[in-house]
Amino acid sequence: MQDHFLEGLISLVHNSPITFDITLTTPGGVIRGTLISTKEYFDRFAESFASAWPGEGGDVLRKSFNQWGDQRSVEGGFDAFVHLKNAHYLDGTGMFPVGPGVLWRGRVAEVSGYTLGQG
């Protein structure tokens, strides 16, 4: 079942400079982080991935991944994926990873619940 409100929140971050913290419940567990646009996700991914290859090799990789940010995956008129930065998985023993800057991408259709903030 589609959640048009969640889809609206995702569209909001695509069409404005707004980002905000969110906690998602998925079949794989609870994930919290900052909701970001597809473009920001792939820009950050490109920078992180390409930084391992200095010089021209890194530039080629960066450009390749940056192009993905211009192509949002849409199903039924809404974004098919949700993107987070500074993501953490929560389980019974705590949260992981502990380092900042982790990116996460998941299918909107797999989100069964959510709350604003990282509570």
- The structure's pTM equals 0.81
- Tens-place pLDDT, residues 4-58: 899 999 999 988 889 999 999 998 888 999 999 988 998 888 887 777 777 776 6
Provide the number of structural domains found in the chain: 1
Would you place residue 114 in the very low, low, confident or very high pLDDT band (cuts 50, 70, 90)? very high
Mean pLDDT over 61-88 rounds to 74
* Direct distance between the N- and C-terminal alpha carbons of the chain, in angstroms, rounded to an integer: 25
Classify residue 71 as left (phi > 0), alpha (psi -120 to 50) or beta: beta
Range of the domain at 102: 4-116
More confident residue, 39 or 59: 39
Report in angstroms the alpha-carbon separations of 6 from 61, 81, 86: 32, 11, 19
DSSP state of 90: E
